[in-house]
Structure 1
Amino acid sequence: MADHQRIHPADLEAGNRPLMPGGSFRSDKGDPAQRAKQQQQQGYVPGALPPPPRRVAPPAPLPPPKRRGRGCCCRLLCCAVISAAVLAVLAAAAAGALYLALDPKAPRYSVDRLSVSAFQVDPATLAARARFDVAVAATNPNSRIGIHYERGSSLGVWYQSYRLARGALPAFYQGHRNTTVLALAMAGEAQLGSAAVVSGMQDAQRTGAVPLVFRADVPVRVQLGTFKLWKVTARVRCDLVVDRLMDVTSLIKIKAGNCKFSLKL
């Protein structure tokens, strides 16, 4: 048959040739004997399930980024606290140096004389009317501090809780190491609480020991050189014991007196 393809001997010989050169494996998977040897070395048992894949631990999370804004605020706060502490120390040191340089002393007060020019008690209404003449001595012992006594002071003479008379200090300046005696006229009217108060006052006069209290609230300003400080209120309380009160025919003798000074800022 003319149409059949002829097979030449060369084609048969080519078909019998090996497809891979000698010494090479016959399969892409390699030599079975060598593959079995590798499996034995890896601990592989024929017929057993393959080992599970090894789990790789996830990487450790990264630390959060530092906030620069918070660090700046902390630094600013620390700087402010340190600055305030330094200023406080400097202010305390300056105040201490000023205190040592000025050596301030509290002023002293005393009631040198007390006389009654009028004293009456209405038995019907228990109203007491009194008029006193008081001599008050104010002493400034400081050598570098002056005292300005301002207007608006309030003075009073009290028996127990009843103010018998009131008055005021004049405005004046008291220099260094100065003692000023002020003659004050004080008058007033008080409503005594009961007849027992009048009876107690009469009993104290019979024994020659009538307790009275002189009080003064005076606005003052301290002067350091040419500089005047802010206004404060000087408070004076003098506890007195006089020999008589209701008898104005003779002078009143002050048997005991103790004055205390304080400041109200």
Structure 2
Amino acid sequence: MSHDPKIHPVHDPEAASVRPSAPLVPRAASRSEQGDPAKDPLTQRPERSIPYTPLAPPRKRGRSCCCRCVCYTLCLLLLLVVVVGATIGILYLVFKPKLPDYSINRLQLTQFALNQDSSLSTAFNVTITAKNPNEKIGIYYENGSKITVWYTQAKLSQGSLPKFYQGHENTTVIYVEMTGQTRDATDIMTTLREQQQRTGNIPLRLRVNQPVRIKLGKLKLMKVRFLVRCNVFVDSLAANNVIKIQSSSCKFRLRL
């Protein structure tokens, strides 16, 4: 008895390793009646919304630097004021400065004549007493001073004080010669005579502008100016005569 040979299928190893690259069933064929599950809002995760925050504008560096410079400058000025104030306070406590005192002791008129051209020629000799009441401060009287004699708005004579040093607690008597010539003085002479007849005195003004240097101990400071204003009432203006001073008062001022 013969048997028919049986043929068995042989498994292909290369065929088993190849996977289908596309789905066997198209995606559209697997949709259900409710639609595509990939687009179902219940199955999709909601997207998170991030609130919009506007960015702050960039700072202006130039303005910030300018404000810093102004602040530094103000601080330096304030510090300088404090240092100067403290220094002045310490010097005041150490030296205890006092103002000088001036007085007109004697006034002599050596020339007082009305010329043919209506000009007035005058010459005065003035004796001034200057007192330095300070115990630790000296005064250097420098060149370039000016002393003048006025009647109302007319300058009669002028001169200058000598250069000298006045020590501590010192009293110095100064002799000054002054000369002058005033134009168109006819009205001035008339006013002087009327003033003397009406009041019995003649008001004069003496002005002193004196550059000085202050000496604190061994320290010699910068040059300043003494301004002295004296109001003097005399009995008359007679040539070659010592004028009687009825009253006088002087004021002192310091100018840098």
For this structure pair, what is the TM-score category when the shorter chain's length is used for normalisation?
A: 0.7 to 0.9
Q: Which amino acid counterpart does residue 180 of structure 1 have in structure 2?
A: T
Match of 2:179 in 1: 187
Match of 1:90 in 2: 83
Rate the CA distance shift 1:38–1:166 in 2: closer, same or farther, 3 A: closer
C-alpha displacement of 1:83: 3.6
> SS at 1:86's partner residue?
helix
> SS at 2:225's partner residue?
strand
**Residues in 2 aligned to 1:88 and 1:227: alpha-carbon distance in whole angstroms:** 22
Match of 1:212 in 2: 204
Normalising to structure 2: TM-score of the pair? 0.76
Is 2:19 aligned against 1:28? Answer: no
Match of 1:114 in 2: 107
C-alpha displacement of 1:172: 0.3
Normalising to structure 1: TM-score of the pair? 0.73
Residues 228 and 251, structure 2, Cα contact 8 Å, conserved in 1: yes
**Residues in 2 aligned to 1:187 and 1:217: alpha-carbon distance in whole angstroms:** 17
Structure 2 unpaired stretches of 5+? 1-22
**Residues in 2 aligned to 1:70 and 1:157: alpha-carbon distance in whole angstroms:** 60
Match of 1:155 in 2: 147
C-alpha displacement of 1:86: 2.5
Residues 203 and 233, structure 2, Cα contact 8 Å, conserved in 1: yes
Rate the CA distance shift 1:109–1:74 in 2: closer, same or farther, 3 A: same
Query: CA offsets, 1:215-260, max 9 Å, x none?
Result: 1111111111111111122111111110010x24653111111111
Residues 111 and 240, structure 2, Cα contact 8 Å, conserved in 1: no
**Residues in 2 aligned to 1:82 and 1:152: alpha-carbon distance in whole angstroms:** 40
Residues 157 and 178, structure 2, Cα contact 8 Å, conserved in 1: yes
Matches within 5 A, 1:8-87: 27-29=26-28, 30-35=30-35, 42=41, 60-63=53-56, 74-75=67-68, 77-87=70-80
**Which stretch shifts more, 71-80 or 228-237?**
71-80
Matches within 5 A, 1:119-134: 119-122=112-115, 124-134=116-126
> SS at 2:215's partner residue?
strand
- Which of 244, 247, 252 does residue 253 from structure 1 map onto? 244
Residues 228 and 253, structure 2, Cα contact 8 Å, conserved in 1: yes
Residues 146 and 174, structure 1, Cα contact 8 Å, conserved in 2: yes
Rate the CA distance shift 1:31–1:74 in 2: closer, same or farther, 3 A: same
Match of 1:10 in 2: none
Q: Which amino acid counterpart does residue 183 of structure 1 have in structure 2?
A: Y
C-alpha displacement of 1:197: 2.2
Structure 1 unpaired stretches of 5+? 1-23, 44-53
Residues 119 and 182, structure 2, Cα contact 8 Å, conserved in 1: yes
Rate the CA distance shift 1:67–1:253 in 2: closer, same or farther, 3 A: closer
> SS at 1:32's partner residue?
coil
Is 2:198 aligned against 1:199? Answer: no
Name the Cα RMSD after superposition: 3.3
Residues 108 and 240, structure 2, Cα contact 8 Å, conserved in 1: no
Rate the CA distance shift 1:86–1:242 in 2: closer, same or farther, 3 A: same
**Residues in 2 aligned to 1:250 and 1:73: alpha-carbon distance in whole angstroms:** 72
Percent of counterpart pairs with the same letter?
39
- What is the count of residue pairs matched by the alignment? 229
**Residues in 2 aligned to 1:253 and 1:92: alpha-carbon distance in whole angstroms:** 47
C-alpha displacement of 1:60: 4.3
Query: CA offsets, 1:114-137, max 9 Å, x none?
Result: 111221123x42221222221101
Rate the CA distance shift 1:185–1:130 in 2: closer, same or farther, 3 A: same
